[in-house]
Structure formats: C-alpha cells, structure tokens
Structure 1
Amino acid sequence: MAADAYSARLRDSRRHRPGGPGAPAVTSMDLDAATLVLGAGVTVLTHPLLYVKLLIQVGHEPQPPIMGTNLFGRKVLYLPGFFSYARYIIKVDGKKGLFRGLTPRLVSSAISTVVRSRARQVIPLSDMEHVSNKDDIKTTLNKVVTETSHEMVVQCVSWVLIHPFHVISVRCMAQFVGREVKYSGLFGSIVRIYKEEGLMGFFVGLVPHLMGEVIFLWCCNLLAHLINTYAVDDNFTHAPAVRSYTRFVMGMAVSLLTYPFLVVTDLMAINNCGLIAGNPPNFPVFKSWIHCWRHLSAKGHLFRGSSFFFRRVPMETAKFTVE
C-alpha cells in the first residue's frame, strides 16, 4: 500500500511538472524503478519484524517469561517482546542473522511490482482512477465491485507467482529453531524443494494464502465504501479527512480477522519438510491446511504471533511455571 501511494504521488508529479513545459516528464520506467527501490527498502526494514513473527508463530520461545503487572496491578507472566527476541537472535547469529531469508522476499517484492505495473498497462489507470471509493464518495456499489474485482485478479496472479519465494523465505527463517542449513540460498533451495517435493512443493499453503488475501481485500473495500457513504456525514467539517483514512483503519481491523490464514500458510510452508520447526513433536504432519487450522484452533494458537508486545503466557503454561 505504501508503494502504491508513492506511485500515485509520482503520477501526479508527471501531470504537473514544476519545471514548466521544458522540464523532463516522469516516464513509466521511472515510476517502476522508483517503486522497485521503495518496495525493496520497505522489505528490508520490515524483515526483522516478520522474522520474529514467524518464530513466534511456530512456537519457538527460547527465552523464559518474565513477571510483570497488568493494568489492574495483578502479577502476570509475559513472554519477551520483539526487542528482546531480536536481541536474542543477534546474540546467536549476529546482526546479519536478523535478515535470514531476506533474498526471497526481495525477489517477491520485485515480481509483485512488475506484475502490478503490467496490469496497469493492460487496464489504463485513467479508466480506474475515477471509480475509486476513496476519490469519489458517490461511487456506486457496482463500480466498487468492479474495481475490487480488477484488483483481486491482479493480486491473485501476483500471489501465485511469488508464493514459491514465500515458501523458501519461511523455511530459511524457520531453520533458526533447529540450527539447520538445509535451505542455504535461493537457487540451492529451489533445486532442493524441486528434487524432494516436486513442483507442488513450491505451492504448499497457497490456498489459505489466497483465501486470506481475497477476504481481506473485499472486506476492506466494501466496508470502507459503506462507512464513507452511510456513516460519514457530508456536513461534517473534516469528512474528507476521515474518509481518506477509512480504508487504512478498516485494513487494520480486517487484518486481525484474516490473521489465522497467515499463520496456517506459514506453518504449511514448513510442515513435513525436514525442519525441526515443522515436524513432530512440534507439529504433527498435516493432511491439509484445514487439518492445520483445526489443530491450531483446538490449542488456541490461531492468533499466535499477532502481537509483538505484552505477550501473556497461556494460562495453562503460566500455572505450570508458577508451580
């Protein structure tokens, strides 16, 4: 979303060149290059967060919980937050260890940018900009559905193409648990997965990935449109500002709803692939992603890793630790 916003600003600068008629125009290639650079930068900056999140998702807790107090003054056991976990990774692997599995994510970012750019060329932006519920609050529901359908197709194609690199990245990061070196590089990982699992090995966990992203997209767009149309009064002074942030707020809310799909996707990517993190006794060999979902749901782990701070120890574990 940040990359798309940056592209929009670049398009505006192309239409209104500050240097006058003689100033050079911003070309489509310039936009793609800028988006690639921005996307790579965001990927690098956020990778440690996603790395820690993944290790929490697989249940790897190498540090003991600490005693703290909640808002009511009661003593509560908390698991280490992001910064404590990151310091532990640095202690074990050094600062470079925080970027384990980064290369496949950079490739994914680049592929996603290229796919979106090509889609914009097939369906010109001028045809789509005027049907955005963020720009025109009077947009009909049919136009919102049309825009969302277009976006869904583009993103589904992108997700299918980048999912193999997501699988590689997740497996590279999960090796931290068992200190394996099975997936040591991008090309080496591709060869290993193909030899051991065939072509389908690159697409394990794809179904929950697509389902989560599609549900997220439709819920965000439709809820934002309905709220902007029926809940925000045109007579309100700051109505335009409120409407501009509606989709962002809806995205944060809906991301909590679809988070279990992300957990299942990541666990399916490492399940039964020879890594300690994804094999018994940590996890059973799942027959399908539905089996994985049911297993996590029964243990109350569908939202594990959704928070980086104030992670309370589960009640059963807390009682055992105190005793």
Structure 2
Amino acid sequence: MTTTLDESAGGAAPPSKGPKPVTVGRRKNYAQLGVYIFVLGPFAALIAAVPLAWGWGLTWVDVILAFAFFYFTGHGVTVGYHRYFTHGSFKAKRPLKVFLAIAGSMAVQGPPIIWVADHRRHHAFSDKEGDPHSPWLYGTGPIALTKGFWHAHMGWMFDRSLTNKERFAPDLLADKDIVKVNNTFVIWTVLTFLLPAVLGGLITWSWWGALTAFFWAGLVRVAILHHVTWSTNSICHMIGDRPFVSRDKAANVWPLAILSFGESWHNLHHADPTCARHGVKKGQIDTSARIIWFFEKFGWVHSVRWPTQARLAKISAGSDVT
C-alpha cells in the first residue's frame, strides 16, 4: 500500500522519500517488559481499587490530586501528542512544544515519536490492513468482533512489531527538542508516579498520605486514562453516530466526551484530521479545543486550523478536505 503521510494524516508531516515499509524490526525484550509493566500494572491497581477503597477509604486529597494529574496528562495526549504533534492542528512556540511533549509523556502511553508514528499509521490505513488497532480486522461476526475489540482496545500494544518512525514521523525525528523528550521517557514516567506521592505526603504530612496518593493519583489515574484513550480506538470505531463522511468506521460516542476531553467526537476527526476542534456541533463538549483556544489568546500558538462552515459542508457532502 502506498498511502502517503500528507494524504492520511492531513499534511502534519512531509512524506518520507521513496517507498518504506510500514513496520521495521521488533521491540526488544526489555522494552516489551516495560509495556507489560506499565499497561498491566496500573490495570491491576484499577481492579484492586474498589475493595481497597472499601477497606481504607479515599480521601479528598487523593481525589483532587488524581483529577489534577488526569486533566494535565490527559490533555498532554489530546492537545499535544494528538492534535499538535500528529496532525499539526496548530503551531506552537518552542517552550509550549516541549511542555506538551512532557505532559503527554507523563500519561505513560509511550514516547512521543512512537505514539505519533503509530497514530499516523492508523490514519493511513484506518480500519484496513496495516492499521495497528482496528477492531474490524478479523471479520464481522460476534466472535470476530469480540477479538477485534480486544485487539483495538489494548491487545495491539503487545504486538512486538515496530511502526517505521522514518516513514511516519520524519519531522519529529528531525526535531532535537522532541528527540530529547522521547529519549528521557523513563524520567517522565517515574515523575508521573512520584509527584502525586510527594504531594500527597507533604499535604497530609504522612507516609500514609504519600502511599494513598501514589495509588489513586498515580496508578489508578494512569489506568483510567489508558482505558479512556484506548476506548477511542475500540468503541469509537465500532458504534456511534457518523454525521460526517470518512473513509472508515470512526464514529461519535457522546458518553465518552468529557472523560476523553473531546476525542470521542471521532467521526469529525477522521473526516477532517487536522481540525483543531473535534466537537463541532452545538453542545459537543471539547475541552482540548478550549485549551487550544486559550493558548491562541495568550499568543502561545498560531495558525490554528479551526472548523469553518465551508470545511464542514465539504465533509458532510463526502468531499475531501485539503
């Protein structure tokens, strides 16, 4: 398949020169171990959350810290990793660019270059062979869709094949700032668990406060954010409304809008990938777009690709947006 980056990812990065494979190499053993630890570890904490809360409670300090870190790291993914680095929905000044890369890294969903390469590949082959996490790769029967849901939601991450970064993220590989953040991903991962514990300990002035904050605002918060993000890959490609025409099965799932910071207005996103706002209709909450709007008002970003009536009319009619 010869789909180019400017066709599939909305021109977020220049296409690489010459044909290159979609995947290249396999994840090394230590990296694969890291995937298991940082995917299954928080997930285990999420499973344990209910009985643990019943046994020794959940304090307001834990709730506030969990909410703050969920909001901060979640928007690091949606505003930074997704709308900025992957799709070029706006241009950011250097300090904000680095800040967004760090905030996204602290969501523990992978280093920025790998995340972006995977997502651009997803758009290049959305719901077709080559898509790393489509739920439609195994068929349309009940068993096939169950297998597809698991694969799209989290199973695909255990595949050891690596998306070709040179093909799908040449712009980020050439950005020294992003390469530095990418190469220090372990530091940001440690900090995303350490900072809630430190703050919880200082606020309560106790080791117990540090432990509970680590559990709720660290492990459980990361696990919930993981599953919200993964739901966009799985649920939002299986069910929902499709008011705009896209080349795949991406759909809007309104119950996820608040938790996903507007990402679950997924049909519009796949119809017009570079658009900075995904919730374009009245009443569609999109906090990621609101944050981009604030950044623009403060002069931290520019060239924002806001939706226009002309663009919306084109994708409603099924025409390509360029």
User: TM-score with structure 1 length normalisation?
Assistant: 0.30
* Structure with greater Cα Rg: 1
Q: State the TM-score, normalizing by the size of structure 2.
A: 0.30
